[in-house]
Amino acid sequence: KAGVTQTPRYLIKTRGQQVTLSCSPISGHRSVSWYQQTPGQGLQFLFEYFSETQRNKGNFPGRFSGRQFSNSRSEMNVSTLELGDSALYLCASSYIAGVSYNEQFFGPGTRLTVL
């Protein structure tokens, strides 16, 4: 199976702009989670989508939003970019079955730089 893919891999934007990142999960995985990673801050959870519905949300401002399509592909959008939004944005997919907790498979990430 192909792994999780994310596009674009690198992005440079200026303050005030908006950006859309895309994630294609592993075939058959219906759960997609998004994380922000900055040096020293670990993985900060943004949100999780399952079957086109946001199931969990982290503590990020409303400028960060996402959605999931019927084919499980997901996008996240950041509006009115700030310098502090510069980070590696990781997408992870998971196969959800019953009440079991399954591992997350991460994509390579999108490196966003805000100037």
Partner 1 sequence: GQQVMQIPQYQHVQEGEDFTTYCNSSTTLSNIQWYKQRPGGHPVFLIQLVKSGEVKKQKRLTFQFGEAKKNSSLHITATQTTDVGTYFCAGNAGNNRKLIWGLGTSLAVNP
Instruction: Please give the residue ranges that form the binding site for partner 1 (CB under 8 A).
Output: 31, 33, 40-43, 45, 48, 55-56, 90, 92, 96, 99, 101, 103-109
Nearer to partner 1, 41 or 70 (CB): 41
Nearer to partner 1, 59 or 70 (CB): 59
Residue 33 identity: S
Question: Do 27 and 2 touch, CB atoms closer than 8 A?
Answer: yes
The residues near 17 (Cβ < 8 Å, ≥ 6 apart) are 81
Nearer to partner 1, 40 or 62 (CB): 40
CB of 102 to partner 1, least distance (A): 8
Q: How far is Cα 25 from Cα 43, in angstroms, rounded to an integer? A: 19
CB of 52 to partner 1, least distance (A): 16
**DSSP 3-state assignment of 88?**
strand
CB of 101 to partner 1, least distance (A): 5
**DSSP 3-state assignment of 32?**
strand
Nearer to partner 1, 94 or 114 (CB): 94
Residue 25 identity: P
CB of 35 to partner 1, least distance (A): 8
Q: In this structure, what token pair is assigned to residue 107?
A: 């994509």
